[in-house]
Amino acid sequence: MNGDIAPLDPASAEPFYRQIYERFRGAIASGVLKPGDRVPSARALTKELGLARGTIDAAYSLLAAEGYIVARGQAGTIVAPDLKQRAPLASPRPRPDAGAPPSFRPDSILPFQMGLPALDAFPRKIWARLGARCIRAMQPQDMLHPPVSGLPELRAAIAAYLHMSRGIDCAPSQIFVTSGYRHTVQLIAHALLKEGDRVWLEDPGYPPTRELLGHMHIAAVPVPVDGEGVMVEEGIRTAPDARAAVVTPAHQSPLCVTLSLARRLALLDWAAKGGAWIIEDDYDGEYRYISRPLPALKSLDRDGRVLYSGTFSKVLLPGIRLAYLVVPEPQVERFEQIHHAFAGGSPQLTQAIVAAFMAEGHFARHIQRMRKLYAERRAAAKAGLEKVLGPHVRIDTPPGGMHLILRLQGQRSDRELVARMRKQGLYTEALADWNIAGAEGPALLLNFTNIDSRRTAEELARRMLALLRS
């Protein structure tokens, strides 16, 4: 192409860079330039065409961005060698909405992956209907920065739900919508803690909390867990002056035990006396299969020491990225200030969909259905695993939660076993990875919500068995 390039048309409506771009595209499409062919350097072409270097650069950038040409450093610029196979970047993608809605492929879930709700049981049709409605109804105020603390209708729906379902009495103004648990913890840390502060963490406990606080230079004080939940008296003995405690009273994460009433009261008493904060991480308090869910610790909070953290990740979808925090009334102003400084709010659309889902009763119905489904799936998973794995494991049966704990018999390493299982596509977790100072285990953590039958459990168990035996 170099040498025989036709002069550009200065009278054209197309700017020069665009004309050059079209020339190259044409030459490539017609086969005049082939994959791997060298194209003139921008400098040479600049000289040849008598145009500004910037014009040539613009044309080449466009060609590169769309995948037609590739810079090869010293070797110069060439027509992309794999051009035929590759779809150019800017070309329209195949439309997924052509014809019928695409079929649902639950096989893309990794077996046992922790923290996931039953994706096949999610009410996708209702969700899509509400979503389409919310997006069509968009008004100017919906396009603006959403209120940083959350859409008023969503905050009101959450307050009503917490009142009924978790025994928490709070005003919508105490609810702060966040983009997830980590965001909630950050908000609390920025508002109430400072570098160097010490915070009780349950041991074992959810690893991301420790990681996050570590990055914020807040020191974790591990407090052991027994059959009654976190050992409050141990925390008081070790670090009476800690500024906060992160706890999971409904189902301890990951041991699933429930914090006893005596411990709840002791914890509240400690916080009230020392002016410390209790961060109640109620990540799946709804999912209790024996009797009805317990009221939240927050419902006992007479002194305004409890910050209640809830999330839609487990009861709806992790992909929705919505969670919330209930702040004691006297701290609301402080949190508003901090939340405003640090965040710009969650997307209007996702909040509007969840608010509609709650307001129309779908949320309560969905939880009700899932509670029943999870009780069944838990029983089926346990039976299937026990049948195949037999004496290699002992399976705990806690009152609630979304995972099973498989205690390994003998002194083997759960970490090493998990590494081998992941290679086989089995996404278990090692309890050892949830320990801080303690040595609970060895045990595997297995989410059961996506195991749809006892047969599936048995199949998965057979894949595990070979690894357990070796």
**Binding of a copy of itself at residue 342 (CB under 8 A)?**
yes
**Binding of a copy of itself at residue 416 (CB under 8 A)?**
no
Range in contact with a copy of itself (rule: CB under 8 A) among 52-60, 266-274, 373-381, 461-469: 52-60
**Which of 43, 163, 387, 462 touches a copy of itself (CB under 8 A)?**
163
Instruction: Please identify, using beta-carbon distances, which residue of 224 and 427 lies nearer to a copy of itself.
Output: 427
Instruction: Please identify, using beta-carbon distances, which residue of 127 and 200 lies nearer to a copy of itself.
Output: 127
**Binding of a copy of itself at residue 133 (CB under 8 A)?**
yes
Q: How far is CA 230 from CA 202, 257, 299, 325, in A?
A: 6, 9, 18, 22
Q: Could you give the CA distance from residue 181 to residue 178 in angstroms, rounded to a whole number?
A: 8
**Binding of a copy of itself at residue 365 (CB under 8 A)?**
no
**Binding of a copy of itself at residue 371 (CB under 8 A)?**
no
**Binding of a copy of itself at residue 420 (CB under 8 A)?**
no
> Angle CA(230)–CA(237)–CA(439) in degrees, nearest 5?
50
Range in contact with a copy of itself (rule: CB under 8 A) among 11-19, 392-400, 406-414, 462-470: 11-19
**Which of 3, 30, 99, 136 touches a copy of itself (CB under 8 A)?**
136
Instruction: Please identify, using beta-carbon distances, which residue of 50 and 410 lies nearer to a copy of itself.
Output: 50
Shortest distance (Å) from residue 424 CB to a copy of itself? 20
**Binding of a copy of itself at residue 164 (CB under 8 A)?**
yes
Shortest distance (Å) from residue 90 CB to a copy of itself? 6
CA atoms within 13 A on the CB side of 244: 27
Site string for a copy of itself, 74-113 (x = CB under 8 A): -x-----xx--x---xx-xx-xxx--xxx-xxx-xx----
**Binding of a copy of itself at residue 391 (CB under 8 A)?**
no
Instruction: Please identify, using beta-carbon distances, which residue of 191 and 223 lies nearer to a copy of itself.
Output: 191
Find, among 192, 178, 189, 170, the residue nearest to 148 by Cα: 178
Site string for a copy of itself, 141-160 (x = CB under 8 A): xxxxxx------x--xx--x
Interacting residues with a copy of itself between 262 and 301 (CB under 8 A): none
